[in-house]
Amino acid sequence: MVWKRKKSDYRNNIKNTYRIGYAESKNGIDWERKDGFSGIDISSGGWDSEMISYPNVFLNDGKLFMIYNGNGFGKTGFGYAIWEDQ
């Protein structure tokens, strides 16, 4: 997982805040962004409705979890997501 934001006005402008993205590499040096595969974006309301940032992905009991910060770089909370194949 990677995170991305715009170069400026990312603290107060929802269009420029952090989002969690995704990238792949065959050699660990050259990376290809595939942000559409991250499977997560900001919610329509609540603690993660403005930004999602600083993800940590881990495997537990065969399930893939991700913890991440919400609005205000985590000021309003952090949460978790569980990967589900579709």
| pLDDT digit string, tens, across residues 37-84 | 888 999 999 999 999 999 999 999 999 999 999 999 899 889 999 998
CA distances 25 to 29, 34, 35, 62, 80, Å, are: 7, 11, 13, 23, 25
Q: Can you tell me the distance from the alpha carbon of 3 to that of 69, in angstroms, rounded to the nearest whole number? A: 11
Residue 86, both tokens = 């579709």
Asked if pLDDT for residue 86 goes beyond 70, the answer is no
- Beta-carbon contacts of 65 under 8 Å, excluding residues fewer than 6 positions away, are 57, 58, 59, 80, 81, 82, 83
Asked if pLDDT for residue 2 goes beyond 60, the answer is no
Any idea where the domains of the chain sit in the sequence? 2-82
pLDDT of residue 44: 94
- The model carries a pTM of 0.78
Model confidence at 34, pLDDT cuts 50, 70, 90, reads very high
Residue 79, both tokens = 């949460």
Q: Can you tell me the distance from the alpha carbon of 84 to that of 25, in angstroms, rounded to the nearest whole number? A: 23
